[in-house]
Amino acid sequence: MDELRNKDAFICDMDGVIYHGDSLLPGVPEFIGWLRDQGKRFLFLTNSSERSPHELSQKLARLGLAVGKEHFYTSALATAGFLSSQCPGGSAYVIGDSGLTNALYDVGFAMNNVDPDYVVVGETRTYSFEKVEHAVHLVRRGARLIGTNPDLTGPTEKGIVPATGALVAPIELATGCKAYFVGKPNPLMMRHALKRLGSRREETAIVGDRMDTDIIAGIESGIETVLVLSGVTDREELPHFAYAPRYVLEGVGGIPG
C-alpha cells in the first residue's frame, strides 16, 4: 500500500466509488481530504454523460464536499472532443441528457434529427421507443453510431440500473451497426485524463468499481489499478476475469490508511 500512497496523481471513477445516486459512500471525505493534504493531483473521470463538470461539482457540494469543476472529466466531454476532431462543425441526433448535448454545443456541433452525421447515445431517463425507432432510421440512412461509454449497468442507491451500453444495444441489433464507444476503457479517455492531470502513467493510479472499464483501462494504459467493492463488481466475480487489479479495497477510505 505504501507504493500506492506514494503515487503523485489519482484518477477516480464516481458512481460506485464516490457515491451511489445521492448518497455519499463511506470514507470519501477522508479520502478527498487526504488527497488535498498530501498535495496529490486528482481527477474524477466518469463514464456517465448526464451531467457537466459544473453540475458534478454542485452535486458533491450538496453532499458536503467542495470540489472545483476543474477536477471533473466526463465521457460526454471526451465524446464531444472526439467528434469535433473527426467532423468539425458536424451535427448529431442525441439520445441523452444536458451534459451530453451541452458538450456537443460547446465544440460547435448542431442538433439535427433529419440528416445528422452521427447518432449519439448516452445515459438518460427520457429514453423511449420513439427515440430508438428514429435513431434506427437515421443510422440505416448513413448516420454513424456513437456511444458515450460501453457500461451495460450502473449503481444507484436503489440498485443496478441500465447504462449506455444497454441503451444503445437495440439500435445496434436493429441496424447491424456496432457503436463506437468513447468512454473508458477507450485509451482516448485515459490519455485525456493524464493530460489534464499533467502526470505520467508511472506516477498515477486509477480507482474504480468496474473490472470491465476502470480496471482494464488502467491495465491497458500502464496505470496502477485499485478496485473498490463499493459499486458494481463483487469480490466473488474476480476469478471470472482474465486480468486482476493490483489492489482490492472495500472503498476509497482504505487508501489513506
DSSP 8-state code for residue 238: G
What is the pLDDT, as a whole number, of residue 11?
97
Using alpha carbons, select from 43, 37, 32, 33 the residue that is nearest to residue 9: 43
Which single residue is written with the C-alpha cell 488502467?
Answer: 218
Q: Please report which residue ranges of 119-254 form alpha helices under DSSP H.
A: 129-140, 164-175, 187-197, 216-221
Task: Note whether 2-47+184-254 and 86-181 share their fold.
Answer: yes
CA distance 145 to 217: 22
Q: How far apart are the first and last CA of the chain?
A: 9
What is the pLDDT, as a whole number, of residue 196?
92
What is the pLDDT, as a whole number, of residue 153?
86
**Strand arrangement, sheet containing 204-208:** 72-74, 41-46, 9-12, 204-208, 224-228, 247-249
DSSP 8-state code for residue 240: G
- In the chain, which stretches have pLDDT less than 70? 157
Phi, psi for 163 (deg, rounded to 5): -120, -170
CA distance 229 to 20: 12
Residues 6+ apart with CB under 8 A from 53: 69, 70, 71, 72, 73, 74, 77
Using alpha carbons, select from 84, 161, 163 the residue that is nearest to residue 118: 84
DSSP 8-state code for residue 64: T
CATH class of 86-181: alpha beta
- Asked if residues 145 and 171 have their Cβ atoms less than 8 Å apart, the reply is yes
- Asked if residues 191 and 212 have their Cβ atoms less than 8 Å apart, the reply is no
What is the pLDDT, as a whole number, of residue 65?
94
Q: Which residues carry out catalysis? A: 13, 15
What is the pLDDT, as a whole number, of residue 108?
97
Q: Is 72 helix (H, G, I), strand (E, B) or coil?
A: strand
Task: Write down the pTM of the prediction.
Answer: 0.90
Residue spans per domain, the chain: 2-47+184-254, 86-181
Q: Which CATH architecture has domain 2-47+184-254?
A: 3-Layer(aba) Sandwich (3.40)
